[in-house]
Amino acid sequence: MPDEEPAFTCDAIWAADLPDAFTVVLGPGDLGANRAHAEGEFAELAQLEGFASAVARLLVAFARRRCA
């Protein structure tokens, strides 16, 4: 990865090998453009609304799969 590219990680890597576990890494906006995890981090209202909608769809999909 080039030095000018921001690097990020999260705890989801620890769940990668768990059987029957779902791991989702999701957040609003763009890691670099929104200065994620840095001074001045922000998200636009439209990004938050889109994020909330995506989370709702994921929860419904997981629930349907679990009940199937």
Q: Look at residue 55 and tell me if it is in a domain.
A: yes
Which pLDDT band holds residue 1 (cuts at 50, 70, 90)?
low
For tokens 């059987």, what's the residue?
19
Q: Look at residue 19 and tell me if it is in a domain.
A: no
Q: What gap in Å lies between CA 32 and CA 34, rounded to an integer?
A: 6
pLDDT for the residue 40: 92
User: pTM of whole model > 0.75?
Assistant: no
Q: Look at residue 18 and tell me if it is in a domain.
A: no
Which pLDDT band holds residue 10 (cuts at 50, 70, 90)?
confident
Q: How many domains would you assign to the chain? A: 1
CA 35 to chain CA centroid, Å, is 15
Which pLDDT band holds residue 45 (cuts at 50, 70, 90)?
very high
